[in-house]
């Protein structure tokens, strides 16, 4: 069996050893070192290049089965990765192939290929696109807007966490679909980025102004679609301004993931009745059979520069536990990634 190029036959990993209370602490994880195991028949060894850090990972640390089985204490922390095949006992994968899958918070993944896909690089588009604009991020944005939102030209789409990984893509897809797109974000820099660089029609800095008032100003024809990434008060404000027949795609509730109690719903639930609102929770994994449809749209959008993204890359696996909190502080600028090794040439 080959070992990862330029590395010893050793794998470092972050293992979850205690259930975080509120924010994640480094001491909730254990830094472990072990020999890379021998591959079994059908298995591959992947040298991880990029590890994705996502809000959902906070949820995966909880002692409950969610849409993913509960992660037992002592396990390598779960996470999406892009890497290079360093050894293969599977005829479908060759050494040097670029692959994407749940490699986890570790330098080398050794195991079977369930859930892994081989990537075809998009000319002129960096490898990070597969974690920032395709994969779970891009497909979540795509199906939330297109399948649940059912946008019609001229409608108004509001996106929360609009400068976040999913939100920034969701808003741009809304523009492509012909909507007026209003993003809600937490800094002037983020607001400027989504309006100037991504083409959102307007941005609301929820830390600077009252969201209710701002929605009234920026959504003169009401709100037809709300792409919900945060939970809490913003949903209440949106429901007040919602049009009859509005759709709410519940993609994430980031304001709630560190909460120690249950997440409350909007304060004005009666609007759901009065305005015949459809509130639909969804998980991108339910759309796996339709991923090719989303990829067929997103790849040309990326290649043509219609869909932009930015990444916030932290160097070295050791930084993962502390870097994750940036998502909840809102201090990341773009899709949060950890770089573990060099990109292949």
Q: Which of 266, 310, 327, 339 binds its own copies (CB under 8 A)?
A: 266
Q: What does R_g of the chain's alpha carbons equal in angstroms?
A: 20
Q: Report the distance separating Cα 70 and Cα 54, nearest Å.
A: 17
Helix, strand, or coil here: 191? helix
Which range of residues in 22-30, 258-266, 308-316, 321-329 is near its own copies by CB under 8 A? 258-266
Q: Please list every residue from 6 through 25 that binds its own copies, using CB under 8 A.
A: none
The residue among 40 and 281 lying less far from its own copies, judged by its C-beta, is 281
DSSP strands (E only) in the chain: 10-16, 29-35, 44-52, 81-88, 98-101, 108-111, 117-118, 156-160, 180-185, 202-205, 223-228, 242-250, 278-281, 311-315, 335-339
Q: Are 30 and 17 in contact (CB under 8 A)?
A: yes
Q: Which of 32, 75, 90, 256 binds its own copies (CB under 8 A)?
A: 256
Which range of residues in 116-124, 162-170, 244-252, 307-315 is near its own copies by CB under 8 A? 244-252
Kindly state whether residue 278 participates in binding its own copies, applying the rule CB under 8 A.
Answer: yes
DSSP conformation class of 201 = S
Encoded tokens for 319: 């930084």
Q: Which of 183, 231, 321, 334 binds its own copies (CB under 8 A)?
A: 231
Q: Which of 274, 316, 322, 342 binds its own copies (CB under 8 A)?
A: 274
For tokens 């120690």, what's the residue?
260
Kindly state whether residue 154 participates in binding its own copies, applying the rule CB under 8 A.
Answer: no
Which range of residues in 10-18, 153-161, 165-173, 267-275 is near its own copies by CB under 8 A? 267-275
Q: Report the distance separating Cα 39 and Cα 45, nearest Å.
A: 7
Kindly state whether residue 265 participates in binding its own copies, applying the rule CB under 8 A.
Answer: yes
Interface mask (CB under 8 A) for its own copies, residues 37-76, using x and -?
Answer: -----------------------------xx---------
Number of Cβ within a 10 Å radius of residue 270: 10
Kindly state whether residue 234 participates in binding its own copies, applying the rule CB under 8 A.
Answer: no
Helix, strand, or coil here: 145? helix
The residue among 58 and 175 lying less far from its own copies, judged by its C-beta, is 58
The residue among 127 and 235 lying less far from its own copies, judged by its C-beta, is 235
Contacts of 285 (CB under 8 A, 6+ apart): 67
Q: How far is CA 56 from CA 52, 171, 244, in A?
A: 11, 20, 31
Q: Which of 74, 270, 300, 316 binds its own copies (CB under 8 A)?
A: 270
Q: How many residues bind its own copies (CB under 8 A)?
A: 33
Q: Which of 281, 288, 316, 322 binds its own copies (CB under 8 A)?
A: 281
Binding site for its own copies (CB under 8 A): 66-67, 231, 236, 244, 250-253, 256, 262-283, 286
């Amino acid at each position: 069996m080959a070992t990862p190029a330029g590395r010893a036959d050793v794998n470092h990993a972050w293992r979850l050893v205690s259930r975080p209370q509120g924010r994640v602490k480094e001491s909730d994880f254990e830094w472990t070192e072990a020999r890379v195991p021998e591959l079994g028949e059908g298995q591959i060894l992947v040298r991880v290049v990029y590890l994705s850090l996502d809000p959902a990972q906070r949820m995966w640390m909880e002692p409950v089965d969610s849409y993913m089985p509960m992660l037992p204490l002592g396990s390598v922390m779960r996470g999406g990765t892009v890497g290079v095949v360093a050894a293969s006992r599977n005829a479908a994968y060759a050494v040097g192939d670029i692959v994407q899958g749940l490699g986890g918070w570790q330098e080398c993944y050794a195991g079977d290929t369930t859930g892994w896909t081989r990537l075809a690089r998009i000319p002129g588009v960096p490898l990070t696109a597969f974690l920032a604009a395709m994969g779970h991020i891009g497909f979540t944005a795509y199906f939330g807007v297109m399948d649940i939102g059912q946008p019609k030209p001229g409608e108004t789409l509001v996106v929360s966490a609009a400068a976040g990984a999913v939100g920034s893509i969701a808003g741009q897809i809304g523009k492509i679909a012909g909507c007026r797109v209003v993003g809600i974000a937490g800094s002037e820099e983020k607001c400027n980025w989504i309006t100037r660089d991504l083409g959102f029609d307007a941005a609301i800095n929820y830390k600077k102004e009252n969201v209710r008032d701002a929605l009234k100003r920026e959504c003169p024809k009401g709100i037809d679609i709300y792409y919900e990434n945060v939970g809490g008060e913003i949903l209440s404000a949106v429901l007040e301004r919602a049009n009859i027949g509005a759709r709410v795609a519940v993609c994430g509730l980031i304001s709630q993931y560190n909460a120690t109690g249950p997440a409350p719903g909007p304060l004005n639930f009666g609007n759901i009745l009065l305005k015949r609102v459809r509130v639909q929770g969804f998980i991108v994994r339910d759309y796996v059979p339709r991923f090719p449809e989303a990829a067929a749209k997103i790849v040309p959008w990326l290649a043509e520069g219609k869909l932009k993204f930015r990444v916030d890359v932290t160097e070295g696996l050791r930084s993962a536990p502390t870097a994750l909190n940036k998502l909840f502080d809102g201090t990341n600028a773009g899709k949060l990634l950890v770089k573990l090794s060099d990109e292949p040439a």
